[in-house]
Amino acid sequence: MNIKSDLLLMIPGYFDGLETLAPIKHEIGGALNAQIRDQAAEEFSGKFIKDNSRVTVAEVVLECGGNDGLQEAVVNLMWHNKTSLCVVEIYAYDLKIPPQTLLSYYSARKLFIRSGNERISLSDYLLSLGVTVYGSKRSMVFVNQEIKENELLNILTNEEKPMGKITGTHFKNIINNNLAQYDTARVYASETTFVEIVKNPLASVKDRLHYQAIEIFFIEMLLLQDAAVSKMNSVVKEKVEYERENPYSKQSREVIYRLMSEMAHAYNYADYTQFYFPTVRVSAERVAEAFGINFIANKFEQNKQLLEQMLESNKKKLIEKENSLKNGLLFIITFLTGISIIAVIMGDILNDILLGYSIAFGVMTVGIILYFFIKILVKKSLRKRTSIR
C-alpha cells in the first residue's frame, strides 16, 4: 500500500558547471526555491550562507526497478556563490510509490534518471550537471498520513523489504525520540533520513512547501558543511603525498595556507545560533546530531590538525634548508679566504704565487678532511658513552 508523502533526495558536492547550466521554469521547483529563500530570510540572520544561488534544472522521472516503479520529480540546484559548494535536490511530491521503495534504490545506488530520451544513473546525471559529490547523501520524507511503526522503521533504514522485523535498539530508540518542537507533527531522524509525520497535512503541495522549507534549509546547512569538510579531506590527502615528494616547494607552502583559509569556511555552514527562534535552533541542532554532525566535526578537526602539522613541518624544513645554505656559503667563503691567505704567505716565501696557491689548496683540503674525520670520531665517541649509560 502506498503512503501519502513528499520526498526530497539531497546530494552535497562541488558545482563546476555554471557555463553549461540551463535552468528551466517549473511551478513546483520555482516555488520550492522561493519558499526556502523567503523562510531563510525571515528566520536566519547569517549572511555568509545566504549568499547562494538557486535554480531549477530539470523535470525528470525517477526509475526504481523498471516501468512499475516510476515517479515524477523536479531537480533543483543550490550552490554557495563564494565556495561553489552545492546541494542537488530532487523533489518527488505526491508519491505514487512507497517512499521506502524509492529510498531503497537511492541508498543502493540503483536509482536511474529518465530525462527526455535519456536514461542514466544518478551518479552520471550529477556529473552531467557539473557536480562532484563530496560528503554523504541524505533524504527527507514528509508523510501526510499516519503510518505503522514498521513502515516508519523501513523509511528510516531505507529498506523496502527488510530481511526480517527490525528489533535493534538503535532504531527503536530513534522512533521513541520525537525531535519536533510543536504538536503539528512528529519528527524522527536516522543517520541518512529525516522523517516528518504531519498531523493535519495540507492538500496543495505548494501550501505544504511553506512548512517544509525551513527544515530543508537547515539540512542544506549541514550538507554544505559535510561537503566542505569532505572536499577538504580529499584535498588534504593529495597534498600530504605532494608534501612528502616536494617538501621545499613554494607551491606546497601556498597550498597549505590556502587550505587553512578554506577550512575556516566550514565553521560558517552549521552555525545554528544564527536562527532567530529558539525552537528552530533546537530542532536544527537535534536533527544535525542525528545526522552525524559529530562525525563531520571530528573529520574537520583531523584535517585541521593535519594541516597545522604540515605547516609546522614545512617551516622546519625551510629553516633547515636555509641553515644548510648559510652553512654551505660560510664554508665556501672560509675555504676561499683560507686559500688566499696561505697562498699570499707561501707565494712571498717561495717567490712563486702560483705554487703558493697550489700549496694553499692542498693545505686547506687536508685540513677539511681532518676536520670531518675528527667530527665523525667525536660523534662515535658520544654514541658509545650514551649507550654505556
266 and 169, same structural domain?
no
pLDDT reported for residue 43: 86
327 — pLDDT class (breaks 50, 70, 90)? low
277 and 163, same structural domain?
no
106 and 199, same structural domain?
yes
Please tell me the total count of domains within the chain. 3
Neighbours of 59 (CB within 10 A): 15
Global pTM exceeds 0.85: no
pLDDT reported for residue 199: 92
Q: Which of 93-102, 157-166, 234-243, 310-319 has the lowest mean pLDDT?
A: 310-319
More confident residue, 380 or 162: 162
The answer to whether residue 188 scores a pLDDT higher than 60 is: yes
The answer to whether residue 285 scores a pLDDT higher than 90 is: no
The answer to whether residue 322 scores a pLDDT higher than 90 is: no
pLDDT reported for residue 304: 65
- SS (HEC) of 318-372: HHHHHHHHHHHHHHHHHHHHHHHHHHHHHHHHHCCHHHHHHHHHHHHHHHHHHHH
Residues of the chain above pLDDT 70, percent: 71
Beta strands in the chain (DSSP E): 5-15, 52-63, 70-80, 85-92, 112-115, 118-121, 131-133, 138-143, 185-189, 193-198
Last-in-domain residue among 318, 340, 355: 318
Q: In angstroms, what CA-CA distances link 250 with 74, 118, 239, 247, 254?
A: 47, 47, 13, 9, 6
216 and 292, same structural domain?
no
229 and 194, same structural domain?
no
Per residue in 333-372, is it b (16+ CB within 10 Å) or e — as a string?
eeeeebbeebbeebbeeeeeeeebbebbeeebeeeeeeee
Last-in-domain residue among 301, 318, 335: 318
pLDDT reported for residue 321: 58
3-state secondary structure at position 377 = helix
pLDDT reported for residue 299: 65
184 and 116, same structural domain?
yes
From its phi and psi, is residue 260 left (phi > 0), alpha (psi between -120 and 50) or beta? alpha
194 and 122, same structural domain?
yes
The whole domain housing 109 covers 5-220
59 and 199, same structural domain?
yes
49 and 104, same structural domain?
yes
288 and 141, same structural domain?
no
The answer to whether residue 252 scores a pLDDT higher than 90 is: no
38 and 51, same structural domain?
yes
Last-in-domain residue among 220, 251, 273: 220
307 — pLDDT class (breaks 50, 70, 90)? low
201 and 167, same structural domain?
yes
